[in-house]
A and B are shown apart, each in its own frame.
Chain A
Amino acid sequence: MSLNWRDIATFYRYETRAALRERSIVINTLLIPLFMYPFLLWSMFTGITYVVGQVEGLVSRVVILDHTAGHEDFKSLVAKDDKQKLQPPVSKTQALEQIQAGELDALIELSSVAAGPKSPPGNFSARIYFDRSKDRSDQARQRLEESLGHYRSQWLENEAARLQVTGKQWQGFLIERRNVASGREMGRFLLSTMLPLFLVIMIAVGCFYPAVDSTAGERERSTWETSMSTAASRQSILTAKYLHVATLGSVAGLINLVAMLLSAKAVLAPLIQQIGEKFEFRIPFAAVPVMAVGTVLLALFVAAVMMLLASFARSFREGQSMITPFYMAIMLPVVFVRTDSEFTVLQALIPIVNVTKLFAQAINGELRLVTTGLTLLSELVCILVVLRLAGMVIRFEDFMTGSYHGSFGKFVRERILNQKRTKPVGEVR
């Protein structure tokens, strides 16, 4: 193999310079990773906050049908709440019609429960009617439940006091929920669910256009042969192109990672704080090198496959359609892999899945030597396999000169699996 690093550097600079002057590459490799997902994230959370705020800002119109005696205080409690407005009493049927028509938000019906040896006098049951298909009605239900809960506790305390029973005696057990995760851990959890998926997608997006542009695009522009007629060896030219595509894929991934982290800190944290939670969006220091290496290896793998597929195309459009199945295949594990489940040894051997899980593990600060090592090794093996395949393909002159008609699949069937029909006419260097 004849590699000249000076030539590789010259071609690499040319490819990168030319790529950065192409609008679609700049948009997909730099601008989308930098702005799109952070923007989507911001839009999503702002939208949710806005909708929640809108619903919360509305006063709930409620009707109380009280068939009990001695629970007027509940009515007073609801009346004092400025988020709820008691409507004039109507019949149950009318109230239900009004709820369905959206003129009323909820109805609460209080009924007496006959006093017995096991229940105190004045005991009551409550039934709330609401329309779950309307946010506003559901909100009214929540508010009524909250008011009823307060009233019930107060009533039980009063009854207990009247019977000279202490709080500890009548409260058999209390259910208390307490999240032991710190704000930092919650932040890591949220990041580990989002970031690996975005990172893999961004690396694929970052490689996509440069891979097509530097192969099929060159053929379409009739500059492929221009490159091949220079004093640089074919291997040097292809190496430069490959490194160029992988660099843009890595850059897209890393830019997205930084943008997502910054936007999580600047946008997500304040929004989450509004709903009473405090998340800290920081990833462990040890995660950085692992994620960087994982990103580069994944970009090298994706770039190799995409270039191999696209180099059979004669036009940009054809190149895009040849790469798209692989692009979709990358998305599948990303969509179906659960980042919060255990990272098994088997998963560490499956490309794309392993990197996604490794990123999640790194962000959560739970890196394990075995899965980390296996993931990196598996990625490396995949890269070497694809490069070996590429090495076999570029020996064929008609592939290099662009006179071969067909896809990568057809080529493999004809030339690699069934070598007796045709063989390399001559090794081109």
Chain B
Amino acid sequence: MSEYPVTVENLAKSFYDESRGEVRAVDEISFECRPGQIFGLLGANGAGKTTTLRLLATILAPTGGTARLMGHDIREEPEEVRRNLGFYSASTALYPRLTARETLHFFARINHYPDRDRESRVSYLIDRFGLGSYVNARIDKLSSGMKQKVSIARTVVHDPPVLIFDEPTVGLDVLNALEMQQVLGEFRTEGKTIIFSTHIMSEAERLCDRIAIIHSGKILACDTLESLREATGCRYLEDIFVKYVRGEHVRPTVAGG
């Protein structure tokens, strides 16, 4: 088993587009994520963040390289990878006709959480996210804030060691976005490995232990915020990001561990 919960090695993904021909959405990227840390993928729209995360979640298959989650190869053992993973994104909506409770039970069961512990796990999450008063309401009757809570709860209901959050605060109001950040912080405290993508610099600054700047499918830098500051001589992440994306000269950062 790999030393790190997540190891990415030369991961690549190309698409065939009728007008543009072959498009390299992810171009041989490599990085590792440590337990109890939030790893941030920072990039503009179309930089390759979502494709990278979908590759790790085995929704897409790589065209080059590979990655291992909790020692399972995304090419060889996709079901095992997904079992050890909680994946949250804008494109993974909740089933509208199930109740919140049914949703949690369903995801616990389908992700192979032990049957004997399922009821207590669901009850715990209902309490933790304050779902009690509307736990038996159908999802399509819930407000967007409530749906967000149920969605986070379903992502972690099988207690996966690795969590992926793809731009989780997009479309949320300020309070809900702050709540989301707080929840991510709590998961970190619990020892989860979190991969988090965003294009909002302040979020990355506040949350991430390590940041990878991704642009045109390539990782331009990957390190702690302090190291990135040191390498660029810039204080703010926004300036650091611009410096890397524009290709201005910076000291090399330590990629990986």
Contact = CB atoms under 8 A, between A and B. Distances in A.
Contacts of B61: 397, 425-428
Given A231-B79, A231-B82, A397-B61, A7 B110 contact: yes
Contacts of A2: 79
Interface string B78-103: 11101101010111111111100010
A204 B134 CA distance: 38
> Chain A interface mostly helix, strand, loop or mixed?
loop
B112 A231 contact: yes
Interface residues of B, number: 36
A324 interface: no
B43 interface: no
B170 interface: no
A233 B83 CA distance: 11
A14 B79 contact: no
B138 A226 contact: no
A29 to B, nearest CB: 15
Interface stretch (A106-114, A135-143, A217-225, A359-367): A217-225
B98 A425 contact: no
B106 A14 contact: yes
A223 B59 CA distance: 13
Given A18-B98, A221-B93, A226-B95, A401 B79 contact: no
Interface string B50-72: 00000001111111000000000
B14 interface: yes
Contact of A231 (B62, B83, B138): B83
Given A226-B95, A231-B111, A428 B60 contact: yes
A3 B83 CA distance: 15
A228 interface: yes
Given A397-B61, A425-B14, A429-B78, A225 B97 contact: no
Contacts of A232: 79, 110
Contacts of B79: 2, 4, 231-233, 429
Interface in A304-351: none
Nearest to B138: A21
Max chain B C-beta neighbours (<10 A), residue from A4, A229, A427, A429: A229
A307 B85 CA distance: 29
Nearest to A226: B92
A429 B62 CA distance: 12
Contacts of B93: 221-223, 226
A429 B78 CA distance: 7
B74 to A, nearest CB: 10
A10 interface: yes
Given A21-B97, A226-B93, A426 B110 contact: no
Interface in A360-394: none
B91 A10 contact: no
Interface of B: 14-16, 57-63, 78-80, 82-83, 85, 87, 89-98, 102, 106-107, 109-112, 138, 158
Given A223-B94, A401-B60, 6 more contacts: A18-B95, A225-B59, A225-B89, A229-B57, A230-B82, A230-B111
